[in-house]
Amino acid sequence: MSTVPKTPNHTNHLALEKSPYLLQHAHNPVDWYPWGEVAFGRARAEDKPLFLSIGYSTCHWCHVMERESFENEAVGDYLREHFISIKVDREERPDVDKIYMAFVQSTTGGGGWPLNVFLTPDLKPFYGGTYFPPESRQGRPGLLDMLRRITELWTTRRKDLNGSADDITHRMLSMAEHEAGNAYPAAERELQGAGQSFLHEYDHDHGGFGGAPKFPRPSQPLFLLRYARRFHEKTATEAILHTCDTMAAGGIHDQLGGGFSRYSVDEKWLVPHFEKMLYDNAQLAQLYLDAHTVGGAERHAEVARDIVRYVLADLTNPEGGFHSAEDADSEGHEGKFYCWTLEEMTQLLTAGEATVAVRYFGVTKHGNFTDHSDPQPLKGQNVLSQAHPKLTPAEKISLDSARVKLLAARALRVRPHRDDKVLSSWNGMMLGAIARASVVLGDPASLQAAERNVAFLKARLWDPATHTLHHRWRDGERDSVQLLEDYANVLAGVVDLYEATVDPKHLEFAVELAESMIRRFHDAKDGGFWQSASDTPNLLMRVKDDYDGAEPSANSVAALVLLKLAAICERPDWREAAEKTIRLFAQKLHQMPQAVPHLLLALDFLQQEPKRIVLVGDPHGPGTAALLRAVHGVFEPNRVVLGNHGPVEPFARTLPVEGDATQAFLCTGHACQPPTRDPRVLREFLQHQP
């Protein structure tokens, strides 16, 4: 099968959409529709099955399948005649994606994107998979052959297909149910068992967990740092600090421009899948901030700064919103923007710079990355890593000079596509990261960026009249989708910003978000939170997301942030909602902790009454910033930081204000240690608390 280049002669129903991914397909010969009643109604009226294809704009294999199949006239003609074709951006509609991803994973044993599923007109799945090549090969069905087979079955065995779809849907509904009265208590033993289980999977040579492909999955190391503190497990701390070092040294970390790619295709963190996602970098910034406060190493602080610099330089819009991602491909080649040949490097640098840079970055004539692009793969490509990091002072000067030249030369290349939509959920993650970076690292630029971001979210994605948080903003418009992950992650980010500033306006916004989240998504009867609002149209089912994968589940995020906010505001109803959420998923905590590492953070927080550091005085007054930096510079995950203004717990408002300078109280229950205005005293006191 030959592919046909994309041509503006074709324009389908995606042309008026805002999603960069949908717009990439707007001129395919496939007659794509967006997800919605127009497509479903046409399928019912014409008695055709639905072909649902899900991906995202920075997905390498989505690009491959588009070039091979969706730009092909024969495929477009066949789909137009026999199917109603729907394109979904999984980042815009994660609720749709998770339903059909669960179907494909349960029926094929695997998943990923592109995700391609065949549905009845009433949205019930009956067959699906991920990437399909244009032609059948090596036992893998080609797309056009598969389309013909589905058409034959739809025509001759409709009753069987409908029966299969009904049965699968029934089983999916059963799998989505959680038993509220399960017999598994969630307690400290689950924390200890999970930590031991995670450490059993630890890669002692290269850091991280498991083999190739290797994902950072920050929730797991974030939990292990807490596990190490609770159970005095020095080996767990060493494992995570080693993992942070090996990831930072690898090619998964952009050694010139900063930030991290999504995962490594090998176990050494050397060769990345080059796309960069906002949510990965937000979570990794949090991890490196924790690593810095645990071990005190400046190298971990510098990686956190490096992530923040990358996001602010390359993933931030003029109003302060954060873009979603950058592609792996440029000019039709994966990694072309990031890789170097030995010849390129030696021609660009002086002899002394080249000698140091080639050795340091591990550059060879043969290369360490194989380009699989068609029809003319690039040769001798090198992913830069810290292959030989030990340098003399003179060599470090040469390397710094080389970096400047390499980065300037790279800036002249064709940059990968940037997905510039702004998602509330991912912005909430990054908001929390830069808010913490501002106070842990003493970085005013990060604080300014955090304040601009929350202002953007409130102006563009939050409706104060209805207390509604929208999911996506792009090109001047926001959508109407309501998702738990937006409320939970923005709430978590705003709480981080409040704890970094004790500015009561941020706490007031957090309270509004929490109340709206509970009203829209909380299951008061059985516990937990629904992924989507009850009035969301055209969903096969409502589910309670319970898997902490590349992104933590919204239930896990909601449980942890509600526990924190309950302590700050003294809201036992919020604590109860968090506890019921943890109990709902207690069986998974007990039997499969690898599936819920972020929920383990919430369980860890629940095990003891959190310490409360109360800053009494003007949030913008003298001494506040220094005290906040002292507090946040100590690794103490089971504490909250609050002021004495705004909707804080009543006891904090009774603490005496003496003089103009802010003073800090460390409180548990209704008892506090003597106050101090000295950041060193506060820091030392926190470091020696049990």
Domain residue spans in the chain?
Answer: 20-176, 188-328+420-606, 329-415, 611-687
Full-model pTM: 0.96
β pairing state of 84-89 and 50-55: parallel
Domain covering 188-328+420-606 assigned CATH 1.10.3720.10 in the classification:
no
The whole-number average pLDDT for the span 200-209 is 96
CA nearest 68: which of 374, 326, 378, 335?
Answer: 374
The whole-number average pLDDT for the span 348-368 is 97
Largest CA distance in the chain: 85
What are the DSSP E strand ranges found in 153-203?
Answer: none
The whole-number average pLDDT for the span 584-599 is 94
CA distance 341 to 601: 43
Q: How many CA atoms lie within 13 A of 215 on its CB side?
A: 15
β pairing state of 115-119 and 263-264: unpaired
Q: Is the model's pLDDT at 418 over the cut of 90?
A: yes
The total number of residues shown for the chain amounts to 690
pLDDT score recorded for residue 181: 55
Q: Is the model's pLDDT at 1 over the cut of 80?
A: no
CA distance 214 to 247: 10
Q: Is the model's pLDDT at 399 over the cut of 70?
A: yes
Q: How many CA atoms lie within 13 A of 2 on its CB side?
A: 2
Tokens 């929390």 sit at which residue? 432
The 3-state DSSP class for residue 50 equals strand
Q: Is the model's pLDDT at 641 over the cut of 90?
A: yes
Among 166-180, 419-433, 486-500, 582-596, the minimum mean pLDDT is found in: 166-180
Share of the chain above pLDDT 90, in %: 90
pLDDT score recorded for residue 407: 97
Q: How many CA atoms lie within 13 A of 528 on its CB side?
A: 24
pLDDT score recorded for residue 5: 40
Place 137 in a pLDDT band, splitting at 50, 70 and 90: confident
Place 174 in a pLDDT band, splitting at 50, 70 and 90: confident
Among 20-24, 123-127, 222-226, 656-660, the minimum mean pLDDT is found in: 656-660
CA distance 23 to 511: 37
Amino acid (1-letter code) at residue 96: V
CA 627 to chain centre: 31
Cα 163–165–168 angle (5° rounding)? 110
Q: Is the model's pLDDT at 546 over the cut of 80?
A: yes
pLDDT score recorded for residue 185: 66
pLDDT score recorded for residue 184: 62
Q: List Cα–Cα distances, 60 to 88, 384, 416, 421, 458, in angstroms.
A: 16, 20, 11, 18, 33
Say which CATH class 20-176 falls into. Answer: alpha beta
The whole-number average pLDDT for the span 637-643 is 97
The whole-number average pLDDT for the span 341-367 is 97
The 3-state DSSP class for residue 289 equals helix
More confident residue, 184 or 593: 593
pLDDT score recorded for residue 409: 98
pLDDT in tens, 284-311: 999 999 999 999 999 999 999 999 999 9
CA distance 284 to 278: 10
Q: List Cα–Cα distances, 472 to 20, 89, 285, 480, 486, in angstroms.
A: 12, 11, 23, 8, 9
Q: Is the model's pLDDT at 180 over the cut of 70?
A: no
- What is the b/e burial string over 455-492, where b = at least 16 CB atoms within 10 angstroms of the residue's CB? ebbbebbbeeeeebbbbbbbeeebbebbbbbbbbbbbb
The whole-number average pLDDT for the span 367-376 is 87
The whole-number average pLDDT for the span 154-168 is 95
pLDDT in tens, 452-507: 999 999 999 999 999 999 999 999 999 999 999 999 999 999 999 999 999 999 99
CA distance 38 to 70: 21
CA distance 285 to 356: 29
Q: List Cα–Cα distances, 574 to 511, 529, 581, in angstroms.
A: 11, 13, 11
Q: Is the model's pLDDT at 175 over the cut of 80?
A: no
Q: Is the model's pLDDT at 4 over the cut of 50?
A: no
For residue 31 the two structure tokens come to 């007659």
- How many CB atoms lie under 10 A from the CB of residue 451? 19
pLDDT score recorded for residue 3: 34
Q: DSSP label at 271?
A: S
For residue 246 the two structure tokens come to 């090996």
Tokens 């953070």 sit at which residue? 601
Average model confidence (pLDDT) across the chain: 94
